[in-house]
A = this chain, B = another copy of it.
Amino acid sequence: MKNKITDLFGIKYPLIQGGMVWVSGHKLASAVSNSGGLGLIGAGSMYPHILEEHIIKCKKETNKPFGVNIPLFYPDLEAIIKIIIEQDVKIVFTSAGNPKTYTKFFKEKGIKVAHVVSSVKFALKAQDAGVDAVVAEGFEAGGHNGREETTTFTLIPMVKKEIEIPLLAAGGIATGRAMLAARVLGADGVQIGSRFVASEESSAHQLFKKEILKAKDGDTMLTLKELIPARLLKNKFFYDIENLYKKGANVEELKNLLGRARAKKGMFLGDLEEGELEIGQVSGLIDQIKPVKEIINEIISEYNSALNEFSVLKL
């Protein structure tokens, strides 16, 4: 029942909930932590004082470990780091930046650090920087993504081969079978995003949640590769980008179309036409909005029953 990941974070299951913008507030994070996983508050879409509020509420809602995800390109990074220290947050997941900059600082404050990567090179960099664990995220993941387009199926064993520290797999994981497959490929645990977007406790807009249930394979695509690549649900906004590409758009024109607050508009305010809807390929497997507790129980019970089938798989 225990492994490197459960020991590292002091949790029951090696299952992390991704700290996603506009989705992962205190309600989602505390529900995940209360159900045996590790909940993460997504700081990327929060003003510092909003993050502070979420941390304070999350502490009231759970006495289990939880953490905060910080995208390292956050404009007012110092302010949120100050809050994390003041509020005595014990776990930080960093992404989208250089892990060298803050890992040592966090570790000195007794904070556990995991860093999200999309390639072997950055996994090694994160390990060198002293992080406690690496999250290797495949091409199929929703939202911001790497440029190499390496998929979960190939990225996990390649990273596993090179690093010594605990490894979490992300991208394409929404079920117990996928969690087990990720562990077979070498991961010590998993980070799950999309499945939790479609939970009752996520702060995603209800219309966005319902749109996820309709998604089939092929309904998401990685785009905006000239800015920061992002996997989006194919809605009007997505096709507007595609049409701009067809006209030979340059980076400036793409930035202008993207504008500001597109993700908020789509994911938080429910504008399914003009908003940016970040979600993974695995949305094609998600067909019900459920409470977090039910989702986690379902994943763990499917994981264990898949494990039991294995006696018949001997070759």
Query: A residues touching B (Cβ–Cβ < 8 Å)?
Result: 1, 13-14, 119-121, 138-140, 147-155, 157-158, 161, 171-173, 175, 177-178, 180-186, 216-218, 221-222, 248, 280-282, 284-285, 300, 303-304, 306-307, 310, 313-315
Contact = CB atoms under 8 A, between A and B. Distances in A.
Given A139-B139, A161-B285, A282-B154, A217 B120 contact: yes
A1 B314 contact: yes
26 contacts: A1-B314, A120-B217, A139-B140, A139-B149, A139-B151, A140-B153, A147-B218, A150-B218, A151-B151, A151-B152, A151-B171, A151-B172, A152-B153, A153-B153, A153-B173, A153-B181, A154-B281, A158-B284, A158-B285, A161-B285, A177-B185, A178-B185, A181-B185, A183-B313, A184-B306, A310-B310
B140 A151 contact: yes
A220 to B, nearest CB: 9
Contacts of A172: 151, 153-154
Contact of A300 (B13, B153, B182, B315): B315
A183 to B, nearest CB: 6
A121 B306 CA distance: 26
A216 B120 contact: yes
